């Protein structure tokens, strides 16, 4: 996995037919500025044989590399190079496109491209081809004069395997048991026998195992486990038809739990092991520093339960997040395993009691610790989420009162993230079948519709149909896109609206290829999926292709690792590199895959 190309982009060869197209579109002049925004070392090629030809500034057609479901909205982006070139206005600037069936070469649809738009995030001039009217399953390509897009399929099952792969990736992240995904993607059992670190206020060993490795590193962090597991269980509750019978091929397949819940159960058990007898929850279990790029079983650094370093040692955010997740789990597991569900609920209540008595214990890494922090000084939203989930599960008034008391006077909702779960709190309250307080529910509806309207507007202004604002291109921006979809999908559930659902799916198309880099940001999905995640098992297993089903963190305009920090500045969507050393751009993480699973569950529903 060290064969990352460092030099692509220096040479740009534009095939003759593309020049012809540019001439047709009045754009040929920009070719005299080759490689202006060339992305240093992205040499896309897929394990299944794609070719490295997605050079920036080429005319090109971008679409979801997995294709589209039969009845869904379908759009591709046609890119014209150079935003200073001056696309002629009027009819000639809106060329015709057509969709051709691959099997018999027949033209099945003709349309006009949308008006040219300058996409700020990429710096590209884009025209949108909308072929939603095509509702016959098959394999097609979009053409604009001589410019041909890649073949794509229209099929009701278009995203079925994607859902399986991205959920099965959690099995690949398992700690404390041997994992075998097939194809050589395997590791032996790892990280047994935790020990209490002095910062935990305890001494001795904690012979616990389990959970999911957080990301490209082997740490396990309660806060990030919380949002990830909560998101996955929400998908279980909101999209049962897509996930209930999903076969994952895990050791528990065929057992008493559906595969999806069995996989989540693996992480829940580990989370429970970090709850102290008083109800508080230690923040994380990691080594003191990150290990080398080795397989997990080769990591012999001690696995410590790490605390805040002083009384009360456990953190509010970890404890409240555990309360939220266990309250959700109590609902989800009740039909299959009533005693586990009861155990989860009891853990949630105890955690809630501790957190409400210690509402303000932040976590920052103690001096000797160098692993991830997930430190969040504002715990009000975590407390609100716990209260709301406990109310939804039990209907008990004190939880509702605590939730209502935690609501800010002005309610503004946004996409959730590991440090911000206020929207999760509000939505679980609004989605609950319990009547609750109608005025509160209606405030939440209003705030959610307002947030959704903003995202829908952004989506239609984006040349690539995503909902990201310029400020969203941060560490993990792909998960921001997925979480904005979660917001839209909740809004659509509260008040169904085809534009809202289409904007949510627009982010899926963006993640799977309709982006200015023409890359699928999920490993082994699509014709040009990325190859070099910052992911220790992918790097250390001796197999060229990365572990399947993993979402890259995505473009990040602000850097944060030695490779990213050296990249030339470009428009934010271009600030990404397929390099395993670039952890601020190309790591993978459970809290990024979880909203992808949520989005794919919705896409399959």
Out of Zn ion, ligand 9MR, none, what residue 116 binds, judged by CB under 5 to 8 A for its kind, is none
Cα 305–chain centre separation: 27
> In this chain, which stretch among 47-55, 178-186, 212-220, 569-577 interacts with ligand 9MR, using CB under 6 A?
212-220
Residue from 276, 299, 321, 587 in contact with ligand 9MR (CB under 6 A): 587
CB-based contact 480:591 (threshold 8 Å): no
Between 411 and 540, name the residue whose CB sits nearer to Zn ion: 540
Between 215 and 489, name the residue whose CB sits nearer to ligand 9MR: 215
Between 191 and 331, name the residue whose CB sits nearer to Zn ion: 191
CB-based contact 146:53 (threshold 8 Å): no
- Distance of alpha carbon 55 from alpha carbon 35, whole angstroms: 8
| Pairing status of strand 304-306 against strand 194-196 | parallel
> In this chain, which stretch among 138-146, 209-217, 345-353, 506-514 interacts with ligand 9MR, using CB under 6 A?
209-217
Contacts of 313 (CB under 8 A, 6+ apart): 199, 200, 201, 202, 276, 280, 282, 307
**Residue 215 touching ligand 9MR (CB under 6 A):** yes
Encoded one letter per residue, x for contact with ligand 9MR by CB under 6 A and - for no contact, window 273-312 reads: -----------------x----------------------
Nearest approach, Cβ of 215 to Zn ion (angstroms)? 12
Nearest approach, Cβ of 489 to ligand 9MR (angstroms)? 22
Out of Zn ion, ligand 9MR, none, what residue 296 binds, judged by CB under 5 to 8 A for its kind, is Zn ion
Between 219 and 307, name the residue whose CB sits nearer to ligand 9MR: 219
Between 405 and 470, name the residue whose CB sits nearer to ligand 9MR: 470
Nearest approach, Cβ of 128 to ligand 9MR (angstroms)? 31
Cα Rg of the chain (Å, integer): 24
Q: Which residue is nearest to Zn ion (CB)?
A: 175
Nearest approach, Cβ of 192 to Zn ion (angstroms)? 8
Nearest approach, Cβ of 272 to ligand 9MR (angstroms)? 21
Interface with ligand 9MR (CB under 6 A), residue total 13
**Residue 546 touching ligand 9MR (CB under 6 A):** no
- Distance of alpha carbon 352 from alpha carbon 426, whole angstroms: 17
Contacts of 567 (CB under 8 A, 6+ apart): 40, 559, 575, 577
Q: Would you give the DSSP letter of residue 574?
A: G
Residue from 72, 119, 143, 217 in contact with ligand 9MR (CB under 6 A): 217
Tokens 């050296």 map to which residue?
Answer: 566
**Residue 354 touching ligand 9MR (CB under 6 A):** no
Instruction: Concatenate the DSSP letters of all residues of 497-560 into one string.
Output: -HHHHHHHHHHHHHHTT-STT--BSBTT-STTB----B-HHHHHSS-SSPPTT-B-----TT--
**Residue 216 touching ligand 9MR (CB under 6 A):** yes
Helix (H) or strand (E) holding 340: helix 338-357
- Distance of alpha carbon 124 from alpha carbon 339, whole angstroms: 56
**Residue 372 touching ligand 9MR (CB under 6 A):** yes
- Distance of alpha carbon 262 from alpha carbon 252, whole angstroms: 7
Between 296 and 548, name the residue whose CB sits nearer to Zn ion: 296
Nearest approach, Cβ of 187 to ligand 9MR (angstroms)? 16
**Residue 348 touching ligand 9MR (CB under 6 A):** no
Binding site for Zn ion (CB under 5 A): 175, 190-191, 296
Between 136 and 205, name the residue whose CB sits nearer to Zn ion: 205
Between 57 and 587, name the residue whose CB sits nearer to ligand 9MR: 587
Contacts of 505 (CB under 8 A, 6+ apart): 72, 73, 485, 599, 602, 603
Nearest approach, Cβ of 108 to ligand 9MR (angstroms)? 43
Long-range contacts of residues 265-268, Cβ cutoff 8 Å, at least 24 apart: 265/333, 265/340, 266/170, 266/174, 266/177, 266/210, 266/211, 266/212, 267/170, 267/210, 267/211, 267/212, 267/225, 267/228, 267/229, 268/229, 268/325, 268/326, 268/329, 268/344
Q: Can you give the binding site for ligand 9MR, defined by CB under 6 A?
A: 214-217, 219, 290, 372-373, 475-476, 583, 587, 589
């Amino acid at each position: 996995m060290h064969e990352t190309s460092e030099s692509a982009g220096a040479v740009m060869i534009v095939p003759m037919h593309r020049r012809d197209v540019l001439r047709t579109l009045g754009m040929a002049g920009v070719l005299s500025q080759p490689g202006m925004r060339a992305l240093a070392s992205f040499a896309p090629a897929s394990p299944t044989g794609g070719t490295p030809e997605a050079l920036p500034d080429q005319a090109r057609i971008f679409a979801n590399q997995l294709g589209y479901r039969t009845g869904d909205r379908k759009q591709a982006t046609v890119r014209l190079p150079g935003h200073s070139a001056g696309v002629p206005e009027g009819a000639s600037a809106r060329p015709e496109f057509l969709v051709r069936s691959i099997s018999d070469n027949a033209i099945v649809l003709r349309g006009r491209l949308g008006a040219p738009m300058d996409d700020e995030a990429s710096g590209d001039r884009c025209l949108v081809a909308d072929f939603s009217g095509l509702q016959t399953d098959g394999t097609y390509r979009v053409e604009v004069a001589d410019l041909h897009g890649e073949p794509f399929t229209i099929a009701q099952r278009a995203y079925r395997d994607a859902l399986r792969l991205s959920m099965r990736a959690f099995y690949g992240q398992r700690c404390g048991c041997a994992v075998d995904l097939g194809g050589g993607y395997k590791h032996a059992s790892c990280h047994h026998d935790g020990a209490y670190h002095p910062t935990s206020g305890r001494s001795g060993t904690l012979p616990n195992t389990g959970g999911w490795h957080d990301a490209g590193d082997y740490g396990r962090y309660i806060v990030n486990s919380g949002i990830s597991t909560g998101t996955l269980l929400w998908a279980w509750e909101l999209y049962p038809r897509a996930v209930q019978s999903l076969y994952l091929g895990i050791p528990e397949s065929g057992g008493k739990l559906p595969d999806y819940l069995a996989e989540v159960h693996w992480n829940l058990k580990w989370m429970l092991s970090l709850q102290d007898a008083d109800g508080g929850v230690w923040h994380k279990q990691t080594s003191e520093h990150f290990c080398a790029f080795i397989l997990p079983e080769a990591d012999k650094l001690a696995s410590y339960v790490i605390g805040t370093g002083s009384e009360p040692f456990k953190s509010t955010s970890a404890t409240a997040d555990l309360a939220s997740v266990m309250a959700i789990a109590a609902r989800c597991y009740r039909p299959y395993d009533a005693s586990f569900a009861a155990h989860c609920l009891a853990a949630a209540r105890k955690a809630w009691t501790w957190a409400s008595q210690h509402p303000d214990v932040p976590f920052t890494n103690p001096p000797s610790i160098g692993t991830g922090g997930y430190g969040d000084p504002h715990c009000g939203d975590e407390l609100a989420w716990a209260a709301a989930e406990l109310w939804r599960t039990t209907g008990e008034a004190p939880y509702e009162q605590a939730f209502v008391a935690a609501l800010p006077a002005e309610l503004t909702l946004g996409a959730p993230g590991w440090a911000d779960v206020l929207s999760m709190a509000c939505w679980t309250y609004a989605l609950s079948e319990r009547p609750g307080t109608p005025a509160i529910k209606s405030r939440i509806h209003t705030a959610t519709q307002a947030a959704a309207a903003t995202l829908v507007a952004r989506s239609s202004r984006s040349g690539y149909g995503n909902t990201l604002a310029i400020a969203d291109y941060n560490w993990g921006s792909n998960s921001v896109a997925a979480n904005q979809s979660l917001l839209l999908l909740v809004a659509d559930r509260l008040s169904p609206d085809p534009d809202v659902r289409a904007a949510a799916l627009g982010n899926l198309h963006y993640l799977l290829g309709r982006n200015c880099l023409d890359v699928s940001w999920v490993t082994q999905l699509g014709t040009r999926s990325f190859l070099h995640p910052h992911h220790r098992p992918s790097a250390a297993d001796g197999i060229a292709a990365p572990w399947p089903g993993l979402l890259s963190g995505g473009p990040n305009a602000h850097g944060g690792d030695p490779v990213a920090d050296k990249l030339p500045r470009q428009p934010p969507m271009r600030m990404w590199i397929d390099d395993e050393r670039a952890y601020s751009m190309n790591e993978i993480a459970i809290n990024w895959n979880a909203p992808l699973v949520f989005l794919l569950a919705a896409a399959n529903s």
